[in-house]
Amino acid sequence: MSETLALVALVASLAAAVARPRWAPDWAVATLAAVIVVAAGALSLHGARSALGRLGPTVGFLAALLVLADGCRRAAVFDALGALMAIGAGGRPRRLLAMVFLVAAGTTAVLSLDATIVLLTPIVFATAARLRASPRPHVYACSHLANTASLLLPVSNLTNLLAFSASGVSFTRFAELMVLPWLAALAIEWLVLARTFADDLRTTSEAVDETATRPPVPAFALTVVGLTLGGFAVSSAVGVAPVWFATAGAVALTVRERPATGELVRAAEPTFLVFVLALGVIVAAAGSHGLSSVVDSLVPHGTDLPALLGVAAVSAVLANLVNNLPATLILVPVVATSAPGGLLAMLIGVNVGPNLTYVGSLATLLWRRIVHAHDEDVDTAQFLKLGVLTVPAILVVSTAALWLALQVV
């Protein structure tokens, strides 16, 4: 009974998040479902409190990062990055793609994939159009790198933050182990994208001079981001949790820019934070009633190469079935026993896997097909083709790189 209730709660929350009905926002559905699960005794009050206690700091960390990224937007960091890409391109589309790779990989790693998706992609589109280059390869690169380039740091993706809090490794150790897999993933993306879009990257026409519109360098915001990163790097040495450096960075940008309170609150995405907390409680209930043991039997244990490959593959499949956030919440307790190798291999799967489908998971894809959502303009075939060419290769090569890093770093 408890088992069924927890699973129904999980499915209802995911359905609300995917279908997004106006009358039932996902955070409200998930919260209600979590309350029902606890009230019905499927999870003890103590269990709920410990789930929230585990997730609380992670969710706070995420809020600080969201405010930090939004502060960068207000300080026109992304406009400056657009100008940097235009100058670095020198009028050649292939060099523009290289600049987009550098900037999108850096933005994703430091300010998280959401910054790349929402804040950088429109800038990249505008930059390519202004340079009279076809925006196609550059926009696809942003879309792919938002996932692929989120392997590097604990702050690059919410999935990383969730695994990081369970991994017991330091911020720098995480980055040391993930830098090789990250570089391998970027290399594969470059090979596939540059080849697939070769038609769009060829040119004979003159470049448009961009120097006239070069915006000022947002020195303050860049310094704050640099210091925040430096703080992350020394966090374990000085014994201060990374979340405090993120908070300090977010506060510094907020004090400098003084956004309206409403704008500040919106930037932290409170409804999404509530959704994550509620989903965490529901997954804890489902986990204690059998879901964990089912997943546990599917996931290989150990840190030898075949086990890591198995973990990455199962994680990628699960992320493609139910989206990567629930997949991570389900997988973290199971793979935490083989930390850090298993956890990091899981991250390769859940972070890179969603590139297979444009919308994030098969569940979403099916739903959007059913309701004929307004993405008929998107070339799903093109997206799937790119996914098939990159995702399996990255899963294998990046996981092998992780295994190598675990041996030598």
Select the residue interacting with other proteins from 321, 375, 385, 388 (CB under 8 A).
Answer: 375
In the complex, minimum distance from the CB of residue 13 to other proteins, in angstroms, rounded to a whole number: 10
Q: What part of residues 249-308 is at the interface with other proteins (CB under 8 A)?
A: 266-267, 269, 271-272, 275
Complex with other proteins: residue 236 or 380, whichever CB lies closer: 380
Q: Which helix (H) or strand (E) holds 66?
A: helix 45-74
Site size with other proteins, rule: CB under 8 A: 63
The answer to the question of residue 142 lying near other proteins (CB under 8 A) is yes
Select the residue interacting with other proteins from 8, 139, 179, 264 (CB under 8 A).
Answer: 139
Q: Which helix (H) or strand (E) holds 70?
A: helix 45-74
Among the candidate windows 45-53, 194-202, 241-249, 285-293, which touches other proteins by CB under 8 A? 194-202
Cα–Cα distances in angstroms (integers) from residue 213 to residues 79, 83, 130, 134, 375, in the given order: 11, 8, 11, 20, 34
C-alpha of 279 from chain center: 17
What secondary structure letter does DSSP report for 134? -
* SS3 readout for 248-316: HHHHHHHHHHCCCHHHHHHHCCHHHHHHHHHHHHHHHHHHHHHHHHHHHHHCCCCCCHHHHHHHHHHHH
Select the residue interacting with other proteins from 40, 379, 384, 396 (CB under 8 A).
Answer: 379
DSSP for 216-235 reads PP-HHHHHHHHHHHHHHHHH
Among the candidate windows 33-41, 46-54, 200-208, 309-317, which touches other proteins by CB under 8 A? 200-208
Among the candidate windows 37-45, 46-54, 175-183, 362-370, which touches other proteins by CB under 8 A? 362-370
Select the residue interacting with other proteins from 1, 22, 23, 206 (CB under 8 A).
Answer: 206
The answer to the question of residue 210 lying near other proteins (CB under 8 A) is no
The answer to the question of residue 326 lying near other proteins (CB under 8 A) is yes
The answer to the question of residue 218 lying near other proteins (CB under 8 A) is no
Cα–Cα distances in angstroms (integers) from residue 144 to residues 53, 200, 233, 394, in the given order: 33, 17, 27, 12
In the complex, minimum distance from the CB of residue 206 to other proteins, in angstroms, rounded to a whole number: 7
Peptide bond into 218 cis (omega under 30): no
Taking alpha carbons only, the member of 331, 333, 334, 345 closest to residue 303 is 345
Q: What part of residues 74-93 is at the interface with other proteins (CB under 8 A)?
A: 78, 93
**Helices 341-352 and 171-196, interaxial angle, to 10°?**
30
Cα–Cα distances in angstroms (integers) from residue 175 to residues 78, 143, 179, in the given order: 24, 22, 6
**Residues near other proteins (CB under 8 A):** 17-18, 66, 70, 73, 78, 93, 113-114, 117-119, 121-122, 124-126, 129-130, 132-136, 139-140, 142-143, 146, 158, 198-200, 202-206, 266-267, 269, 271-272, 275, 323-326, 354, 358-361, 364-365, 367-368, 373, 375, 377-379, 382
